[in-house]
Chain A
Amino acid sequence: MQNFIDAYSWINIRFLLQGLWITIEVSVISIILSFILGTILGIIRYAKIKYLSAIIGFIIDIIRNLPLLLIIFFTYFGLPNIGIKPEIIPAAIMALSIFESSMVAEIVRSGINSIDYGQTEGALANGLTRWQALRIIVLPQAIKNMMPALVSQFISLVKDTSLATIIVLPELMYHAQIIYGQNTNYIIPMFVALAVLYFIVCYSLSLFANYLHKHIA
């Protein structure tokens, strides 16, 4: 019990919260970037544009089938070889956005596919262009269908930021490790704290998504 009291001293909690802030910052930027990029890629893949769709489809498949840990690793240590030397936080955001947008692209593609093609045909018959049909008729319905999958993916994203500890991103998990580096007895209190903090962030995210879902749909 004493371990818990010592581990949760204000100085440690403050340090954890500093880490939490980096986690949130990196997550929010990556969620926005990967949502935008993923939607564009998903539509390109769905649209079956000659060559372009096939090439993008293949790259998406490779990226989403690789462990994120390795993508973070290659972004941080591979890019300097071609002349780009990102700092730790941009490297983490870049790696997360690349990976998650390929996940989002797959969700978007299947979401659009799940809408009956008859609707597009109907829209075209009514004089809408293909792009209008997609934007006005298909996408709004598709987004409603893919909302749960997207939320799951973004919850994963928040927790996946912890993988960036390997490139020493000063986020929540890394700060917890520094704290229990002072005293090995702090490890269990720290894991409890991690569970609680991640739960609060991720659960708020899904509540927020539910709220959006109700007000948009």
Chain B
Amino acid sequence: MKKFSRLISLGAICLLTLLTLSGCSSSVSKKDVLTADQQSNRITWGVKADTRLFGLENIRTGKLEGFEIDLAKAMTKKILGPDGKCTFVPVTSGTRVPLLKNGNIDAIMATMTITPERAKQVDFTHSYFDAGQSLLVKKGSPIKNISDLNKPGKVILGVAGSNSVKNVAKYAPKARVLQLSDYAQAMTALKSKQGNALTTDNGILYGMAAENPGYEVVGGNFTKEPYGIAVNKNQDRFRKKLNWALEQVEKDGTYNRLLVKWFGNVKGFNYQEMKR
């Protein structure tokens, strides 16, 4: 009995330690990020390093490249002036929010769709990219749009952490959804017939269709996926400044230039309608 009570108390101590370790610190969100960034003349962005077109590490140079990277650079210059510097920290869908809350990064720009559920944990700016969700299938497949998938026995492949898999549950509730860890795994799973279609944001799908001639994008966009920049709660000054910078970049044509630079050559992708 004595041994048992000792075990219990030890367990309680361990749980407490774990709880302190897992508790989210609030001290970071009290500091004003904008003031700190203006003082250090540097904004730290959390970005993707493994997603083509948006943020991908260039193996030759070791630098990150993509639409989001260029947009972040342009916005940094608007906020901090022409010598404003930016630091890019690669994030994954699992690490981006803890990194933001711990203060390792100031803002997340990593193909993150604005949703009400997420807005409970972080604050979003206006959308900086209106992705739309579509489907990729093998050429000649009987599936022409999302409603063809709304049948029992149909399997839709997606990528964990993207909002597109959530939408599928709304548009095709009868289908089964499998979430894989990255686009290449999802694409290969489609090739090995683990699913009938692959869904994600159209820009990425067109990129994959270009690499794999036997596959095509069908059905047009069935949802809008507005990507937003996420910042910590209680950072309204920073958020407003980001919105302002986004507007400036759109007004002076930089936005459209970047859109053409990254999506102009993606076959099938209508970048004209995305221009701002």
Contacts and interface: CB of A to CB of B under 8 A. Distances in A.
Judged by CB atoms under 8 Å, the answer to whether A and B touch is yes
Interface of A: 11-12, 15, 54-55, 58-59, 62, 73-74, 77-82, 85, 165-168, 177-188
B20 A81 contact: yes
In the A-B complex, list the 3 residue pairs whose CB atoms are closest, starting with the nearest: A78-B21, A181-B50, A184-B187
B52 A182 contact: yes
> Helix, strand, loop or mixed for chain A's interface?
helix
Contacts of A58: 7, 10-11, 14
Nearest to B99: A77
Contacts of B95: 77, 166-168
Interface of B: 6-7, 10-11, 14, 18, 20-25, 49-52, 56-57, 59-60, 90-92, 94-95, 98-99, 102-103, 182-185, 187-188, 208, 211-212
Given A11-B59, A80-B25, A184 B212 contact: yes
B116 to A, nearest CB: 25
A59 B182 CA distance: 35
Contacts of B24: 81
B204 to A, nearest CB: 10
B75 to A, nearest CB: 23
Given A177-B50, A186-B184, A77 B57 contact: no
Contacts of B98: 77
24 contacts: A11-B59, A12-B59, A15-B59, A54-B6, A55-B10, A73-B94, A74-B18, A80-B25, A80-B102, A81-B21, A82-B21, A166-B92, A166-B94, A166-B95, A168-B49, A168-B92, A177-B182, A178-B59, A180-B184, A181-B184, A184-B184, A184-B208, A185-B211, A187-B184
A187 B185 contact: yes
B191 to A, nearest CB: 9
B25 A81 contact: yes
Nearest to B50: A181
Nearest to B98: A77
Contacts, number: 85
B23 A178 contact: no
Contacts of A182: 52, 56, 59
Contacts of B185: 187
A85 B25 CA distance: 13
A62 B7 CA distance: 12
A10 B11 CA distance: 53
Nearest to A66: B18
Contacts of A55: 10
A177 B184 CA distance: 9
Nearest to A183: B211
A77 B96 CA distance: 11
B59 A179 contact: yes
Nearest to A167: B95
Given A58-B7, A81-B21, A168-B90, A178 B57 contact: yes
Contacts of A12: 59
Most buried by B among A54, A165, A184, A186: A184
